[in-house]
Structure 1
Amino acid sequence: MTRSTDNKKVIKVHDSDNVAIVIGQGGVAAGTQLQAGLVAIVDIPQGHKIALSDIPSGAEVIRYNEVIGTATETIPLGGHVNERNIALRQPPSLQELEVATREYGPAEPLAEYTFQGYRNADGSVGTRNVLGITTSVQCVAGTVEHAVKRIKAELLPKYPNVDDVVGLTHTYGCGVAINAPAAIIPIRTLKNITLNPNFGGEVMVVGLGCEKLQPSTLVSEQPVKIYGANEKADSSGHILSLQDERFVGFSEMMAGIMAMAEQHLAKLDQRRRESCPVSELVVGTQCGGSDAFSGVTANPAVGFAADLIVRAGGTVMFSEVTEVRDAIHLLAPRVIDAEVGEKLIREMAWYDEYLAQGQADRSANPSPGNKSGGLSNVIEKALGSIAKSGTSPIIDVLGPGERIRKRGLNFVATPASDFICGTLQLAAGMNMHVFTTGRGTPYGLSMVPVIKVGTNTTLSRRWHDLIDLDAGRIASGDDTIEAMGWELFHLILDIASGREQAAVERLGIHNDLALFNPAPVT
């Protein structure tokens, strides 16, 4: 028996698609009439694909007007299309890509918008005023975490203009092949994180003393002074080593860290917010815990907001090599010139080789949760992922751990792992972060505000105190991509200005840094 409904139940992205995704909490039951001539012949969960016609075995499965795979069996009209009946196709050839073929006229400027930020001596602008304490080796991570708790309790209340104190702990620094070619990635990542605009040039480095990664490497562009507990800290001090012979016992190590912290807190406390143009924003975009709605709701809304920021002269970065690799043929025409195209191809090729060396391939992505959310394979995931990039030209490509060089839309090469990607975007210099999710994740960063955008209303309502913006309203027809993009743009300005806090800021949720280290561990 056929069930009928007057409500919108499926989303078809393009007229050429032969699949659509089911919307509505709980999905649809077998026998439900979804539209004229379309009846679900089996139960289909929310976000999963339904065949809009008979798809013979070996025929192409099309979504976003792109082939996402071939049917491994005949899929009847109204059937459930999923990872079990779609075969993965080969990725686009890097040698045959058309590069820099799209012509861009001058974008309509967007100059009237500002935010309240912290100007730094190096010309960058922060959205928060944070004391960062980084480490040169994992051996001192516990000590730094202990010190951060004491600094927050004993010192931070004396400096009301400082937002927070954060420990930038990690698992690198010793027991590694420090001179291996690929070691440049974690080293420059740590170094560039110290230059993040939200730290105002006042990052401290706590080392052990015998590590391979020397602390001075991380602050080589800053005045360097090494001192112990019995030596008066001054404004140029950035480095403290626990093995310094002047320290007698753990209490003196703590006294040294606290003395150094007070000097830096006093300087940070002098910073004040001032009106800054949107051109000073550096916004990182990322998706995690994605589902089939990501590419039709949250990511396109982020892409629209990204275009607004670029029109205002600001900087936006998108990343996740494995989640753009299968859509690279759509990105290569958008690079601004052949040189940027060569960089893009080089990063794709490097990662192909990296996966091959590890005896892995792109089929390792997506995750089980992504598949439960309706994403059948990495091709479908990539086509939705690149929607975050909007429509602007790609003006530069950065390798992992490199710092932003040009304003505009940048591709920053990173793995797809959420926190590795976030760590590398911090190194690139982002001062705001936008993170989309359909399955849900309590992802957060301690030094940069993270705006969470839910791809579907079911998640956004269930995680009402973790999600900042419900893009599921696009799927239901209650909002448009354009309206949601503008709403996100204004939310970015409000949170960047400190007028509002992102949900994870209010809750104090963040994870440790996660370095990308493709070099050998000894």
Structure 2
Amino acid sequence: MTKKRSGIQDLLRIMARLRSPTGCPWDREQDHRSLRWHAVEEVYELLDAIESGDDHELEEELGDLLLQVVFHCQLARERGVFDFEKVARRIAERVKADGLVAYSNIDGVVALGPPMGCGMAEASPGLLLLQKVLQGYVRHPNFSAILLVGLGCEINHVDCFLANTAIEAGPSLDVITIQQGGGTEKTICQGIEKVHRMLPLANEAKREPISVSHLICGLECGGSDAFSGLSANPALGQAVDRLVRQGGTAILTETTEVYGAEHLLVRRAVSKEVGLKLIEAIRWWEDYTARNGAEINNNPTPGNKAGGITTILEKSLAAATKGGTTNLVDVFRYGDRAQKRGLLFMDGPAYDPVSTTGLVAAGAHLICFTTGRGTVCGSTPAPTIKLVSNTETYRRMEEDMDVNCGAVIDGEVSIEEMGQMIYRLILDVASGKRTKSELYGFGEESFQPWYIGPIM
């Protein structure tokens, strides 16, 4: 069976070909200004078609107007500013946002679905860990209201979750199951009704000035390269030092990627007990990977190697600098709530979506994500600030990167100056400025709780 081709994809390919060096000379000569009257003409012809009531003519004129849209999008794509996909995504966002016009204090409605909720033993470590993560999300301050949706008979059914987490349903937390709701379509209708009932209460939340000491920032890295430890990571560390000095909190994680550099954190621990927690976490990972036929130092990844990193030690030494220079105040388990202020460490895996999910569950209001090779990872409901280590990657992926830390490598700014810039951006994002990943709507797909245990 052949896959049906998309007409719009064909049109986009044809326009790109027409604009190519071997394409149509007339099309290659055009720019936004030269095409402006063509667009006006097509609008008038469309109006005539509407007045005539001729559906065939209407179809033709809509196609001509769409061609103008595609033409302008191709011109913008060539300049690296936007493309047709981005325009279409903005339209979808606008349509969704129209339903929230009356609720100016609500940024949006999101749907998060854990990939696992059944097929595990009751009261197993995997189930309890999943429920702990879900609890962290339900209680996250960036969510004003929650609708829990379940099938109705799974291991992690909503009643079990509420009982095990001591969370109670109420005006800002409702539940629904597909089995009791009467099937897919009826459950969707009921869910929409429940969400609409929550909107007025959620809209009562308003921004107000507070001390930066309330801010919790999660620290993540992915797709690191040889420049990460020279620019993005230490610059983020400078920002973390500023945040902690103001009474704020930063959470390091990815235990397997501080392996070999853990002594740098242990010597900064506020007590022997805190230092031992990190050592015990390292030992657990050594045993865990060995039991599964692997090694904790089976790193770096192919992408890291292509970026110039040769060993896990190089990667870990660079990763640890994200935490700055202040004392390590506490070490806690994946998904646990952050209980103290200052520099903290959450034990957990280094896989980006799983790691950021744990940080959000721990209470991180936003994520600072350093990269060298590039990433499009986002997180919901905590905005993700992406910091790239080198200018080459920034230029290739500028639409996805928030800060070019390659300016440090290029000699344009110092690490301290870049750290100050990152710190200011952290405050701006916490105050409502949207990150690149938010503008693209990334985040829902990155909700991936860490699962431990057999699937039965």
TM-score (norm 2): 0.76
Structure 2 match to 1:66: none
Matched, 1:213 2:146: no
1:295-331 deviations in Å (ceiling 9; x for gaps): 1100000000001000000010011011101111211
- How many Å separate the matches in 2 of 1:167 and 1:391? 38
Unaligned runs of 5+ in 1: 1-147, 226-234
From the superposition, tell whether residues 488 and 237 of structure 1 become closer, same or farther in structure 2 (CA, over 3 Å).
closer
SS at match of 2:101: helix
Amino acid at match of 1:223: E
Q: Do the aligned residues in 2 keep the contact of 1:362 with 1:378 (CA within 8 Å)?
A: no
- 1:159 corresponds to which residue? 103
Structure 1 residues 383-407: Cα deviation after superposition (integer angstroms, max 9, x where no partner)? 0000001001011111111110001
Partner residue in 1 for 2:117: 173
Contact 1:180 1:520 in 2 (8 A): no
Alignment CA distance shift 1:243-1:183 (3 Å): closer
- Measured in 1, the distance between the counterparts of 2:359 and 2:371 equals 18
Residue of structure 2 equivalent to 1:145: none
User: What letter matches 1:473 in structure 2?
Assistant: A
Question: Out of 163, 181, 190, which is 2:134 matched to?
Answer: 190
- How far apart are the structure 1 equivalents of 2:318 and 2:173? 47
Q: CA RMSD in A?
A: 2.0
Is residue 242 of structure 1 aligned with residue 151 of structure 2? no
In structure 1, C-alpha distance between the alignment counterparts of 2:179 and 2:362, rounded to whole Å: 32
Partner of 2:425: 491
Q: Which residue in 2 is equivalent to 1:454?
A: 388
Which amino acid is the alignment partner of residue 503 of structure 1? K
Task: Compute the displacement of 1:437 (Å).
Answer: 0.6
Question: Is 2:301 the counterpart of 1:367?
Answer: yes
CA distance in 2, matches of 1:377, 1:485: 27
Q: Give me the identity figure in percent.
A: 38
Cα 1:188–1:345 shift into 2, 3 Å: same
Structure with the largest fraction of helix: 2
Aligned pairs for 1:74-223 within 5 A: 152=96, 155-200=99-144, 202-219=145-162, 220-223=165-168
Q: Any idea what the Cα deviations from partners look like across 1:111-130, whole Å, max 9, x if unmatched?
A: xxxxxxxxxxxxxxxxxxxx
How far apart are the structure 2 equivalents of 1:259 and 1:163? 19
Mapped to 1, the partners of 2:102 and 2:118 lie a distance apart of 36
- The residue aligned with 2:434 is 501
- Tell me, in whole angstroms, the C-alpha distance in 2 between the residues paired with 1:492 and 1:410: 18
Q: Post-superposition shift, 1:365?
A: 1.7
Alignment of 1:438-477 (within 5 A): 438-477=372-411
Task: Report the CA distance between 1:248 and its aligned residue.
Answer: 3.8
1:78-123 deviations in Å (ceiling 9; x for gaps): xxxxxxxxxxxxxxxxxxxxxxxxxxxxxxxxxxxxxxxxxxxxxx
Cα 1:279–1:363 shift into 2, 3 Å: same
- The equivalent position to 1:416 in structure 2, one of 350, 363, 380, is 350
The aligned amino acid for 2:285 is: Y
CA displacement 1:403-434 (0-9 Å, x = unmatched): 10001100011101000100100110000110
Query: Given that residues 148 and 173 in structure 2 are in contact (C-alpha distance below 8 angstroms), is that contact kept between their aligned partners in structure 1?
Result: no
Question: Match for residue 55 of structure 1?
Answer: none
Instruction: State the number of aligned residues.
Output: 362
Q: 1:151 to 1:269 in 2, by over 3 A?
A: farther
Change (3 A) 1:497 1:282: same
Read off the aligned partner of 2:233 and give its amino acid letter: N
TM-score under structure 1 length normalisation: 0.67
State the Cα distance separating 1:191 from its structure 2 match: 1.6
Q: What's the offset of the Cα at 1:263?
A: 2.1
Amino acid at match of 1:305: A
**1:270 correspondence with 2:204:** yes
Note the C-alpha offset of 1:190: 1.7
Where in structure 2 are there 5+ consecutive unaligned residues?
Answer: 1-91
Match of 2:449 in 1: 515
Q: Is the 1:237–1:260 Cα contact (8 Å) retained in structure 2? A: no
Task: Write the distance in 2 (CA, Å) between the matches of 1:364 and 1:307.
Answer: 31
What residue number does 2:314 align with?
380
Distance 1:397 1:476, change over 3 A: same
Higher strand share: 1
Q: Is the 8 A contact 1:292 1:373 kept in 2?
A: yes
Counterpart position of 2:266: 332
Please tell me the residue identity of whatever aligns with 1:238: D
- Supply the distance in 2 between the matched residues of 1:362 and 1:406 (Cα, whole angstroms): 28
